[in-house]
Chains A and B, each alone.
Chain A
């Protein structure tokens, strides 16, 4: 090619580059919010609930005229429940898809990994399903917590036990990020209230036979068993407790205990068991009933707290944008830091690290096949049935 042609090519290239940089990318199109959800892999079920929560929020926002006069559109990918995949997807969303905003993924490990990306690009990220305190205490400036931290999941159980003068606690947990934090929190709370942690052991994810673990615990005969679990381990643990006749006066689990399937699976064996949840459909929060009905209609099943948290996280972010009257991360961030709000999910207020202060966990107990909120006192629907009778007397 001649020198002239090279020059022409260069000029055209430069012109195109300038044009591309100057043209705003769809300034008046919809506001695109990006996120990666765990639609396949280990977290698939709960990630799907969160996905549905986001979709319902998108629908509700658009029904009310959108955000800043523009429609809202979620761009969501599947991170396969793996943190490295989430990292790649958020980079993609931010740098290639050029979304206007991002919302958090499902679970603490993925949020932790992904937060490095969103901080790098200074994008505000409301993270509705991250319960691990450490994520929010690393000096990050753009990340906001919605749910109560893992450490307080078993607070209700411990508080009720202490008030009744119980003395000994055994703590078991799955060996993963969330469960470890919940267990550690429970153990510390117990010690603060003057109870003795007589046993603490972790089990690997996917473990199905707890007989050795329970045999050891039974020999110590603790008043309370606090288990930081998910669903299948909660079910297996409960069944084997019955088989081995392990009879604490109070037995509580975390994530699995609030799912309707818990009772469907265990039937009457679930009675007296305490569960912890971030949210219940019956709680007197504003818009809760409408959210519940709407969700059930759209998705054909009842929402879990993951659905509600996703929904509320998105609504909270939208409120921040509305108050800032802009999508500019610094302005939105400023608003989210001082915002105090009550959604269908409960209260929102964060400290200067974005760590959630106001939201309350509730502890429930299965009574006659229904989930009854028994703690805290101001939200309780009935008194707890205490103590739990031994298995062979039910």
Chain B
């Protein structure tokens, strides 16, 4: 156990951290949107990601499509699922205390995971499409992870452009700042909620579609993503959208560096300890978030 850590190793690990960080950011952005606009903590976020992964898997194995081409399809499918969930169940707890939304989304999450298990069994699936890495100097950069990184950055960028420059995007931000004033300005808040949930689901699905090429697909794969998304938005500040980016990258880096300098086992602890520390020192997150 006498590993000498060289700068190259640190560099390699930093690259890994950034690559996974971008994915965390994208998925967490969806969660941040839901919380910012609707004040709802969506525990079902992980299962939505999982469904995105399954969609990609079936399109790949059933129709032989290039998995990266299925990303927009998965996003579209889950956008629809998100709309459906919002219209039937979620809208009812928008004004309720946070306990209701926590529990409701938890119930939905169990139902989704179990339904998937019944429909497709717990058999592990995987998309064997792309493996290996490109060499950049002394560093090996994983091909599927880089492509996922590129997509994540692109989609997150698009999301920000959408939020900043389009009419609907501005309406979303307005509702996020103050629902009452938004209503007074003539914004159809109900429609905004619907769209936000759909959009967030689509972002989660993109995450799922991209990691389908990297990890094994099974019904419970989303759970850990729910936790990590929570971590990210708390780190960055709940409801703070650029905060989700910062939080995601930070989490990715911290995990990998802890894994290198300590052990992989401890990296799990470190992430949560970081969460608790940030909450204690800066309760509204690093970039400042919503005060409820």
Contact = CB atoms under 8 A, between A and B. Distances in A.
A–B contact via C-beta, under 8 angstroms: yes
Interface of A: 40, 42, 44-45, 48, 175, 198-204, 206-213, 215-216, 219-220, 231-232, 235-236, 239-240, 242-245, 261, 264-267, 269, 391
Contacts of B12: 211, 215, 244
A212 B6 contact: no
A231 B255 contact: no
Contacts of B123: 45, 261
Contacts of B256: 209, 211-212
Interface string B40-55: 0000000000000000
Contact of A216 (B140, B218, B220, B260): B260
B56 interface: no
B131 A204 contact: no
A220 B3 contact: yes
Interface in B256-283: 256-257, 259-260, 263-265, 267-268
Given A42-B220, A232-B124, A243 B264 contact: no
Given A220-B3, A231-B216, A261-B123, A202 B265 contact: yes
A219 B9 contact: yes
Interface in B50-77: none
B171 interface: no
A204 B124 contact: no
A199 B9 contact: no
List the 8 shortest-distance A-B pairs measured between CB atoms, nearest first. A212-B259, A232-B216, A265-B126, A44-B122, A211-B16, A243-B133, A203-B264, A212-B260
A188 B20 CA distance: 35
A17 to B, nearest CB: 43
26 contacts: A42-B220, A44-B117, A198-B1, A203-B263, A203-B265, A204-B268, A208-B214, A209-B20, A209-B255, A211-B16, A212-B16, A212-B260, A212-B267, A215-B13, A215-B260, A216-B3, A231-B216, A236-B214, A236-B215, A236-B216, A243-B131, A245-B133, A261-B123, A261-B124, A261-B125, A261-B126
B269 to A, nearest CB: 9
A215 B218 CA distance: 27
Given A232-B218, A244-B133, A212 B264 contact: yes
B95 to A, nearest CB: 34
B88 to A, nearest CB: 25
Nearest to A213: B264
A261 B267 CA distance: 29
Contacts, number: 113
B265 to A, nearest CB: 5
Given A44-B117, A212-B16, A240-B142, A202 B126 contact: no
Interface string B114-130: 10010001111110100
B124 A219 contact: no
Contacts of A210: 264
B4 interface: yes
Interface in B212-265: 214-216, 218, 220, 224, 255-257, 259-260, 263-265
Interface in B1-57: 1, 3-6, 9, 12-13, 16, 20
B131 A242 contact: yes
Contacts of B214: 208, 236, 239
Interface string B132-143: 110000001011
Contacts of B124: 45, 231-232, 261, 265
A242 B215 contact: no
A245 B140 contact: yes
Scoring A209, A219, A261 by chain B CB atoms within 10 A of each residue's CB, the highest score goes to: A209
Contacts of A240: 142
B3 A199 contact: yes
Given A216-B5, A219-B3, 19 more contacts: A45-B121, A200-B1, A206-B224, A207-B268, A209-B16, A210-B264, A211-B142, A211-B259, A212-B257, A212-B267, A215-B9, A215-B260, A232-B124, A235-B216, A243-B142, A243-B143, A244-B133, A266-B131, A391-B132
Contact of B128 (A42, A211, A232, A264): A264
A219 B257 CA distance: 16
Nearest to B1: A199
B219 to A, nearest CB: 8
Contacts of A213: 259, 264
A235 B126 contact: yes
Contact of B264 (A207, A220, A231): A207
Contacts of A199: 1, 3
Contacts of A202: 263-265
Contacts of B260: 212, 215-216
Interface in B161-188: none
Nearest to B256: A212
A254 to B, nearest CB: 15
Nearest to B9: A215
Interface string B141-170: 011010000000000000000000000000
B183 to A, nearest CB: 43
